[in-house]
Amino acid sequence: MQVRPPVVAGAFYPEDRATLAAEVARLMDAAVAVPPAQAIIAPHAGYQYSGPIAASAYAALRGGASVRRVLLLGPAHFVPLRGIAASSAAAFRTPLGDAAVDADARDALLEGGLVTIDDAPHRREHSLEEQLPFLQARLPGVPVLPLAVGSAGADAVAAVLDRLWGDETAVVISSDLSHYLPYEAARIADRRTADAILALDPEALDEESACGVVPVAGLLVAARRRGLSARALDLRSSGDTAGPRDEVVGYGGFAFATSSG
């Protein structure tokens, strides 16, 4: 697979290039500026539901010429997957253009036995694709390494991050929080998850905490080793943005940085 085509354009976000660019710009313009972060957690629902929360995280993601790579990790929703899988694609396409895959970073992880090549979990996976337009707007031209995370442990994710996470690397974890709880129950559950993230406590998370609980937990392990602190930027649900409140999906935007930023 040379180019992984978009599969949720026109459903989860606009498929027209100009419309998508305008939507991402609108969401980013509405986000509050905060000190730059080395890593973020951003949600991955339809932009009408989670776009404002995702934008809050991307507003914190550090930019500039020093960032030469983005590590993007999200859950594999549709294909059973053991471990962590990279795609063989040279680029991931969105209506905004092609996001080049960092082949050198992929090769380094393959040589270390930390990931495999498996295109199957990438073909339909929206958790990674939905982050790309934000990355293309925030870090134009910067190569990305999308990784689908299956039944790996937090330590396996942390090992991937530790292998490649340097000053030139930004880290993005894609995850929604609670799923299909009544509004107030979701608010309580998501606050509990947010508290665990802020405490860098992966042991306090479980499969009900977030669909991307494994990559989130791996980030917490790696962040703790690096002496990073976490900040909650936005914590809402679909009941706050564009949906009914009988069953909601929770979303959180989080940033990870050193005390000096």
CA distance 250 to 237: 4
84-86 vs 179-181, strand pairing mode: unpaired
pLDDT in tens, 106-148: 999 999 999 999 999 999 999 999 999 999 999 999 999 999 9
The chain-wide mean pLDDT, for the chain, equals 96
Instruction: Please give the full DSSP string across 72-141, using - where no structure is assigned.
Output: EEEE--SS--SSEEE---SEEEETTEEEEB-HHHHHHHHHTTS-EE-SHHHHS-HHHHTTHHHHHHHSTT
The answer on pLDDT for 209 being more than 60 is yes
The confidence band for 64, taking pLDDT boundaries of 50, 70 and 90, is: confident
Tokens of 247: 């069953």
Chain length of the chain: 261
Write out pLDDT tens, residues 140-149. Answer: 999 999 999 9
Q: Is the pLDDT of residue 208 over 70?
A: yes
**pTM, entire model:** 0.97
What pLDDT is recorded for position 1?
A: 62
User: Is residue 243 very low, low, confident or very high in pLDDT (cuts 50, 70, 90)?
Assistant: confident
Mean per-residue pLDDT, 14-31: 98
Domain spans in the chain, listed from the N-terminal domain onward: 3-257
* pLDDT reported for residue 20: 98
State residue 65's pLDDT score: 86
What superfamily does domain 3-257 belong to in CATH? LigB-like (3.40.830.10)
